[in-house]
Structures are given as C-alpha cells and as structure tokens.
Amino acid sequence: RWFTHFYVVSVLWNGFLLICLFRAEFFGESFPSWIQDMHHALGRDSQNKDMGNEHFSALLVLLLLWLHSCRRLAECLWTSVFSSGVIHIVQYCFGLGYYIAVGSTVLCQVPTNVRNGKKLSVQICWYHIIGVMMYIWASLHQHRCLAILANLRKSTSGKVVSLSHSVPFGDWFESVSCPHYLAELLIYVSMAITLGIHNVTWWCVVMYVLFNQALAAVLCHEFYQKKFSSYPKHRKAFIPLV
C-alpha cells in the first residue's frame, strides 16, 4: 500500500523536472542554480556541442516517466486492492530515493547550459516512434494485469470481498506469474530506445530494473507454487519460455 508514496513523490518531483526542462528547451531559460550544482556533482559538465535530437529525446523520456508515475499512482488509488502486508523501512527509503534519482538521471543527459539560450528544434526520429509505441503497448498490458489482480478480490459489482490470494488468469498471466513486472521492464526498455538506444547510463537503469523485478517475480512465483497445488505448471516466473 505504501508504494503509493513512491508515485506521489515521483509525480511531484519528476513533474517539476519536466517543467524545468521544458522551459529550458523551448524558452531558453536556465536551470535553477541548485539543479546546475546537482549536474556538476553527478559529473555532468556543460557542453557547447549542439545535440538537439538528444535534448528532445531526454525531454520525451522524462515525459514518459512522469506519465508512467501518474498512471501507477492512479492505479494504486483506484484500481489495486492491497492486503495488510507491510514494507521494510529500508526498502521504503530506497524506493523514495530511487524515484528521485531516476528522474534526475534523465535530466543529467542534458548539459547544464542546455542550448545556450536557443530554442529547441524538434526532430522526431524512428527510435522515438518505436520507443513510444512500445511504451504504450507495455503500459496497456501492465494496467490490464493489475486490473485482473484487483478483480480477484472484488465481486462482480466491484465491491471488495476478500484480501486473500487467488490464481490469476488472462492476458500475460497465461505465460508468466508476474506479467506486471515484465511490463515494467519493457517500459524501461522502451525509454532506452527513445533515448536513442546507445545511452549507456539508461541501460544501467534497465539492468537494475531487470534484476529487481526478476527477483520479485521469482519470489512471487515460488509463493504461488507452494500455496496452490494446481498452479499451472507451464507458467514461468518472469519471462515467457525462460
């Protein structure tokens, strides 16, 4: 239930960064001094080389990240039905820090001087289109899977009738135990594509998401297998056929 706090922080923080980057790119304004200090602390120096396409990619990815946080916040508030499970304080603090760091990581792909007062010239490339399409596809499936999980605890009228665990069926659940985790990975991969595929920093973020979500999926898969003797044997934990 407290994962909701992560998305509240992400919506506010990454929304603020998105506004700062938008104003800097389209109106030639400078970042606040403390953001510039953050850039320097993270090793990102000013650049004079014009990289307009990379600037637009970073702006687009920050927008996608913010939209993802908004959707997940809405799902936590109005879709998901949470049990009485608790979260470890270390995991909670790490989660809050993660959603602050991930938006800052996107922003740091843009030099502190942005475009030296010049307005951004938008140029849409093939990887922007592929990345956004993949993002939408993965987001739709993640929402469907979360809705399936929530409906297991609701009556046909939509009223919550149970907080116990049940075996989910439908959509990507037919192939894996945790398709919502798989969709989360694909969403981050789509952002890596949107950044132009070659951005090593963001692929490091993708690798973190891969290991984090894979671990959670394996634990959840093992829980299902132990709790339900008739659990579908063909289902994998995280990635179909793997």
Comparison of pLDDT for 96 and 55, the residue scoring more: 96
pLDDT of residue 116: 52
pLDDT (tens digit per residue) in 223-232: 999 999 999 9
pLDDT of residue 236: 98
Average pLDDT over residues 14-32: 88
Task: Mention every residue, 6+ apart, whose C-beta is less than 8 A from residue 223.
Answer: 165
pLDDT of residue 85: 85
Domain ranges within the chain, ordered by starting residue? 1-123, 124-241
Structure tokens at 23: 């104003």
CB atoms within 10 A of CB 64: 21
pLDDT (tens digit per residue) in 97-128: 999 999 999 988 887 665 455 556 678 899 99
CB atoms within 10 A of CB 162: 12
pLDDT of residue 48: 46
pLDDT at 39 over 80: no
Average pLDDT over residues 31-57: 71
pLDDT of residue 44: 60
pLDDT at 58 over 70: yes
Nearest to 103 by CA among 48, 31, 21: 21
pLDDT of residue 38: 81
Average pLDDT over residues 176-185: 98
pLDDT of residue 121: 64
What is the average pLDDT score of the chain? 90
pLDDT (tens digit per residue) in 131-161: 999 999 999 999 999 999 999 999 988 899 9
Structure tokens at 7: 């998305």
Q: pLDDT band for position 193 (50/70/90)?
A: very high
pLDDT at 15 over 50: yes
Q: pLDDT band for position 34 (50/70/90)?
A: confident
Task: Mention every residue, 6+ apart, whose C-beta is less than 8 A from residue 156.
Answer: none
Around 31, how many Cα atoms within 13 Å sit in the side-chain half-sphere?
Answer: 22
Nearest to 49 by CA among 105, 128, 124, 118: 118
Average pLDDT over residues 188-214: 96
